[in-house]
Structure 1
Amino acid sequence: MSSVPQSKDELFSAINSIFPKLMDDYRIVPESLSRKCELEGNIKGTQISVCDAVAYLVGWGKLVLKWHSLRSQGLPVVFPDTGYKWNQLGLLAVSFHDEYSDWKYEDLLKELDSTINELISLISSLSNEELYETTWYEKWTLGRMIQFNTSSPMKNMRTKVRRFNKSNGLS
């Protein structure tokens, strides 16, 4: 399998191979350390917490679901989101951190789990043609847009969380 999914089955496989491992890594982190800012942030030179890393994945997952919902209703979609341009993804990430800053760590993990399950249901409901054989946004297919915002950042976050766990003596 190429590192970039090219089909519905490969997209499922990419998400299902990384997501359970990432959740295991997140579950090792105690609530007491979940807001400790030691992970490399999305803006150069910034540090974020494990909670922020979860919020980032929740935020992007919900954004993908929003894009699909609006598009399937024939409504206009602002990419990446209202008030943000593609060159402002660091600021969009910060907005996700802010949106979930009052959430308990356990609730954030439940929200991530439920968001990823919604995305898996969405993928299940679509054909390979809808996901990978039809241009969905500019030159990108919907499958690629989902992958950009699920399995790819999950791999990145997993590296950061494993580094955090190791430096904090968690295993």
Structure 2
Amino acid sequence: MSSIPKNKDELLSAITAASSKLLEDYIAIPEDMSRVVGIEGNVKGTEISVCDTAAYLIGWGRLVLKWHSRMSSGQQVDFPETGYKWNQLGPLAQHFQEEYKDWSFISLQKALQQVTQEILALVQSLDNYDLYETLWYENYTLGRMIQFNTSSPMKNVRTKVRRFKKANRIKG
């Protein structure tokens, strides 16, 4: 399989694989280490915690579901989110981190699993034409927009989380 999914089955597989591998890494991290700052943040020169990485992924996953819901019902969508432009993704990431700052690490993991399941169900409900054979937002298909905001950042976050685990001698 190529690194960029080109059809429904590849997208389902990419999201499933990326999320399950990341979850394995999250499970290995002790709760008392989950709020330790030491992971490169989304804003240049910042560092975040493992919990913040989960908040980031939950935020993007929920945005994908919101986009699809609004577009499907003929409502306007403010991409990427109301109050943010595409060149403000760092502040948007910080917004997600703030939104979930009081959540326990276990609750964040469960929320990430839930939003991932909802995205997988969405992808499952659509056909290849809807996902990859028609433009959905500007020059992008819906499948590509989903991948940009699920499996791709999950892989990126996993690399950072694994670096954090190694630096803190966390096994698993």
Give TM-score, length-normalised by structure 1.
Answer: 0.99
**SS at the partner of 1:108?**
helix
Q: What is the match of residue 15 of structure 1? A: 15
What is aligned with 2:144? 144
What is the CA deviation profile of residues 87-107 of structure 1, one whole-angstrom value per residue up to 9, with x for unaligned ones? 000000000000000101100
Letter in 2 for 1:5: P
Q: What's the CA shift string for 1:71-128, capped at 9, x where partnerless?
A: 1111000000000000000000000000000101100000000000000000000000
Q: CA deviation at 1:131?
A: 0.3
2:88 and 2:154 map into 1 onto residues whose CA distance is 20
Aligned-residue offset at 1:52? 0.3
Q: How does 1:89-168 map to 2 (within 5 A)?
A: 89-168=89-168
Task: Give 1:43 shift.
Answer: 0.7
| Segments ≥4 residues shifted beyond 3 Å | none
Establish whether residue 43 from structure 1 lines up as the match of residue 20 from structure 2: no
Aligned partner of 1:56 in structure 2 is 56
Distance in structure 1 (CA, Å) of the matches to 2:52 and 2:91: 13
Q: Structure 1 regions of 5+ residues with no counterpart? A: none
Corresponding position of 2:33: 33
Residue 36 of structure 1, CA deviation = 0.5
Name the count of aligned residue pairs: 171
Q: Which residue of 1 aligns with 2:24?
A: 24
Cα distance between partner residues in 2 of 1:148 and 1:9? 16
Per the normalisation by structure 2, the TM-score is 0.98
Distance 1:15 1:120 in 2: 8
Structure 2 distance, partners of 1:18, 1:76, is 30
Q: Deviations over 1:121-158 (max 9, x none)?
A: 00000000000001000000000000000110011000
What is the letter of the counterpart of residue 35 of structure 1? R
Separation of aligned partners in 2, 1:98 and 1:158 = 21
Mapped to 1, the partners of 2:168 and 2:84 lie a distance apart of: 35
